[in-house]
Amino acid sequence: MLFLPFLPRHPSPGSFPFSDSDSEQKRGGRGLSGEACGPMGSLLSCISDQDPSASPPPVAKRRSSVSSRRGSGAKAVAIDEEALAAAAALVLGQRSSFGGGAFERSASVRYAAKRQQQQGPPLPRSSSTRPRSLADPELHPQQLLAKDLNTQDLETNIIVLVHGGGFGAWCWYKTISLLEDSGFRVNAIDLTGSGIHSYDTNKICSLTQYAEPLTSYLKSLGDTEKVILVGHDFGGACISYAMEMFPSKVTKAVFLCAAMLKNGHSALDMFQQQIDTNGTLQRAQEFVYSNGKDRPPTAINIDKSLLKDLLFNQSPSKDVSLASVSMRLIPFAPVLEKLVLTEEKYGSVRRFYVETTEDNAIPLHLQQGMCESNPPEKVLRLKGSDHAPFFSKPQALHKTLVEIAAMPPAQSS
């Protein structure tokens, strides 16, 4: 029986054990069937063990690359090549007899079951660092979440994503793609002076001005259109303001590691409650005084060298790089503004809070404190997420948003 494991499955040029150059070097031996013929002799000796009654495989002949040589040397090369062709045909014949089909490319696929028995579960393979194999299943978000989900049957299939301070609509690129693939209509807002919005951040003087792109969008909706608002970070204060202005157009509000404030409180009040043990937040903040040092700050800048430690401690490096060249100043005046929220308007919208456990910007204990003082309908958690779950846990975030969107309308009492 032919001993296949020593035959390379995909020999590259120059690496085949019996190339033309090797044949030249080994011509001085004791013949093709002798011991001094090296790999070719070993191969032919294995072939000779086959059942003599079996019909020999067809021999494919090809022109010798050294056919210009004369005498016994050229004859030996021709014999070498005929033997090589016969060996290749025999290998293919053996595979056909066992139903092998095409050569398998990955040893990790061929021996996965055996390795799992001997060494435990197979090592995880990252689809982002290797080409897709034909053996890999192609799973879509719809298959991973709810196969029977029809977004047309939901209370609304429109999701509006509102970024946090310094961010822009660009930060939602993964979430937008996943939600749209699942059948949702998605709109990511660039707040004033953020993302590609060209307004000077230092000139923003109120929360009303900062949230104007969001409120203008809600105002443009039809009478029967409703949306789900998702606010991240300081975007939580912005969606709270929008809920107070347009409660009839918001079916659910999702606070994603965000400022979920009570009536009469500001985002600054929330941050003053934070006990930052390592001082990262204080060291990362740089105040901007565009109106002079004798006037209040106009904006806050985040030190780029501390971005990863503060915001992206669990996020991929490529997303940290994207943020480092895309983030803009955070307007200071909206952070100081105290919200006016009423139970009749703001309180009529269903609220959900999504916690992030590895958050260094708004630590988990601070998120939990906001939920205790201003309880939402439900609290969900993204384990292992930093302050940017759209980067560090995009699939888990997607699943959570779909779960909230699929919750049936609340029963009126």
User: CB-based contacts of 91: which residues, under 8 Å, 6+ apart?
Assistant: 2, 4, 7
- Residue 190 in this model has a pLDDT that exceeds 50: yes
Q: Do the domain assignments include residue 60?
A: no
Catalytic, 387? Answer yes
Average pLDDT score over residue span 249-262:
97
In the predicted structure, residue 92 carries a pLDDT above the cut 80:
no
Is 359 annotated as catalytic? yes
Q: Which of 233, 265, 319, 398 is catalytic?
A: 233
Query: Does residue 73 fall inside a structural domain?
Result: no
Give residue-wise pLDDT tens across range 271-295: 776 655 557 888 898 999 999 999 9
Q: Is the pLDDT of residue 33 over 50?
A: no
- Is the model's pLDDT at 39 over the cut of 50? no
* 280 assigned to some structural domain: yes
The 3-state secondary structure of the chain reads CCCHHHCCCCCCCCCCCCCHHHHHHHCCCCCCCCHHHHHHHHHHHHHCCCCCCCCCCCCCCCCCCCCCCCCHHHHHHHHHHHHHHHHHHHHHHHHHHCCCCCCCCCHHHHCHHHHHHHHCCCCCCCCCCCCCCCCCCCCCHHHHCCCCCCHHHCCCCEEEEECCCCCCHHHHHHHHHHHHHCCCEEEEECCCCCCCCCCCHHHCCCHHHHCHHHHHHHHHCCCCCCEEEEEECCHHHHHHHHHHHCHHHEEEEEEECCCCCCCCCCHHHHHHCCCCCCCHHHHHEEEECCCCCCCCCCEEEECHHHHHHHCCCCCCHHHHHHHHHHCCCEEHHHHHCCCCCCCCCHHHCEEEEEEECCCCCCCHHHHHHHHHHCCCCEEEEECCCCCCHHHHCHHHHHHHHHHHHCCCCCCCC
pLDDT at 165: 96
Sort residue 38 into left (φ over 0), alpha (ψ -120 to 50) or beta: left
**Mean of pLDDT values over 351-357:** 98
pLDDT at 118: 52
Position 89 scores a pLDDT of 61
The first and second tokens of residue 5, run together, are: 């494991």
Catalytic residue (one of 319, 359, 386, 398): 359
pLDDT reported for residue 366 = 93
Q: Domain range for residue 374?
A: 157-406
Whether 215 is in a domain gets the answer yes
Q: Predicted confidence band at 399 (pLDDT cuts at 50, 70, 90)?
A: very high
In whole angstroms, what is the distance from residue 13 CA to residue 228 CA?
59
Angstrom distance (rounded) from CA 295 to CA 287: 12
232 belongs to the catalytic site: no
Alpha-carbon distance of 350 to 198, in angstroms, equals 33
Least confident interval from 51-60, 77-86, 180-189, 306-315:
51-60
Q: Could you tell me how far CA 86 lies from the centroid of its own chain? A: 49
Average pLDDT over residues 219-229: 95
Question: How many domains does the chain fold into?
Answer: 1
The 10s digit of each residue's pLDDT in 46-74 is 444 444 454 555 544 444 444 444 455 66
* Residue 132 resides in a domain: no
Position 36 scores a pLDDT of 42
CATH code, 378:
3.40.50.1820
More confident residue, 259 or 139: 259
Q: Looking at the domain assignment, is residue 1 inside a domain? A: no
- pLDDT of 411 reads 73
209 within a domain of the structure (yes/no) = yes
Q: Enter the tokens of residue 246.
A: 């347009």
Q: What is the pTM of this model?
A: 0.66
Residue at 62 is within a domain? no
The pLDDT-based confidence of 409 (bands split at 50, 70, 90) is: confident
Q: Kindly state the tokens that stand for 364.
A: 């988990």
Q: Which of 163, 265, 387, 398 is an active site residue?
A: 387
CB 236 within 8 A of CB 261: yes
